[in-house]
Structure 1
Amino acid sequence: MFVIDMLSKKTVMPTAETALPGRTAPIPTSEHHFVNGRSLKGPYPEGSEVAYFGMGCFWGAERLFWKIPGVHVTAVGYSGGLTPNPTYHETTTGLTGHAEIVKVVFDPKEVSYGQLLKVFFEEHDPTQGMRQGNDIGTTYRSAIYTTTSEQEAEAKAALDAFQAALDASGRSLRITTEIAPVGEFYYAEDYHQQYLAKNPGGYCGLKGTGVSCPMG
């Protein structure tokens, strides 16, 4: 009963009263991308755009995006919650409200936001609510955090298109992806950045629905 109770609490978003207090200073983290050596925090090339995606565990999700031509740099962190400058262990309690997020800096002349959305919807299951496979909790929810009104409109259109594709496939599944303007993005600890490049045999729980997203 104790284990079930703990899991149920991790799937409920905290309130301002129940959220962990966090800290005023950022936690230590990497400055450069382990794979391509570029600055994680900028400055970025002129004309770059930034996108934020939550697909469950951020290790495998980040690897998907850094391999895409036109993506300048990626980083993992936490966003969407209440606790300032959280640690990984704090997020896993469910008491920060943050999701595990991948920050994607890209050149829109080489890869469109629509193409990134297609990867997002096809490479994880956006219908699972506060979980992704065996990873359970608010931190593993599906999320798109947008930086412009154009991104928000395109993300909502992609969600509608993918829902229609799921319906056409005969699946009785409803998308639970959260779409919202991005708030503060907090960089994750050094060992999480580009984790699967540092640990090639590491865990990756990503699994899509097998349905194609008609975007990009």
Structure 2
Amino acid sequence: MFLVEMFQRKTTMPTAAEALAGRNEAIETTAHHGVNGKALKPPFPPDCEVAYFAMGRFSRAEPLFWSLPGVHVTAAGYAGGLTPNPTYQEVLSSLTGHTQTVMVVFDPETLAYESLLELFFERHDPTQVMRQSDDIGTFFRSAVFTTTQAQAEQAKAARDAYQAALKSAGHTGKIVTEIAPMQAFYYAEASHQQHAQRNPAARSGLKGTGVRFPTSA
């Protein structure tokens, strides 16, 4: 019974009454990206756009984006929850409602948002509920947090297109990816920024379905 209760707590979103109080001050993080040296926080170049993706461990998801041509900078953080300025341990308690999220600042003239969505859907399993492989919890749930109406429309269209591709491939799962406007992004602690650069052999729960994203070509 204890294990069942623990599993349910990890996979159930907290209510406002259950959520941890958090704090008014931002958690301390690093100032610059550990790979390209660029500033982790705004202001960003005016021609850049910002996108946010949650697809399991941010330590393994972030490097999928930072080397793409057109990406200005990436950062690991927390989004989609209730607790202001949470710590990593608070997020892992399942009492903040956040999911581990990667911020991607990119130049849309060089890298289309649709290409980021294609990578997102292919490189994790968007049909898994509150988990990625053996990584279980609300903080590992799949989500796309949008910053413009155009992003919201493109994300929903990409979700539907990938669902159709899964069905054509015989995959019976239903995509559960949350698509919602970004409300607040909280930078993770310095030790979590560009973690894969310092720990390339660290464990990863990311695994795609094996189904390619459909293209118009």
Query: Number of matched residues?
Result: 216
Q: CA–CA distance in 2 between the matches of 1:203 and 1:46?
A: 36
Which amino acid in 1 is paired with 2:23? R
Q: CA–CA distance in 2 between the matches of 1:55 and 1:8?
A: 20
Which amino acid in 1 is paired with 2:100? E
- Equivalent residues of 1:158, 1:215 under 8 A apart: no
Aligned match of 2:90 = 90
The 4+ residue runs of structure 1 with deviation greater than 6 A are none
The reply to whether residue 21 of structure 1 matches residue 21 of structure 2 is yes
The reply to whether residue 52 of structure 1 matches residue 69 of structure 2 is no
The 5 A counterparts of 1:1-20 are: 1-20=1-20
Q: CA–CA distance in 2 between the matches of 1:129 and 1:31?
A: 34
Can you give the 5+ residue segments of structure 1 that lack an aligned partner in the other structure?
A: none
Can you give the 5+ residue segments of structure 2 that lack an aligned partner in the other structure?
A: none
The 5 A counterparts of 1:128-139 are: 128-139=128-139
The 5 A counterparts of 1:64-83 are: 64-83=64-83
Displacement of 1:42: 2.2
Q: Deviations over 1:75-102 (max 9, x none)?
A: 0000100000000000111100000000
Displacement of 1:4: 2.6
TM-score (norm 1): 0.98
Seen in structure 2, the aligned counterparts of structure 1 residues 215 and 105 have a Cα distance that, compared at 3 Å, is farther
Aligned match of 2:155 = 155
Aligned match of 1:180 = 180
TM-score (norm 2): 0.97
Please give the root-mean-square deviation of Cα atoms over the aligned residues, in Å: 1.0
Q: CA–CA distance in 1 between the matches of 2:208 and 2:85?
A: 31
Q: CA–CA distance in 2 between the matches of 1:42 and 1:31?
A: 10
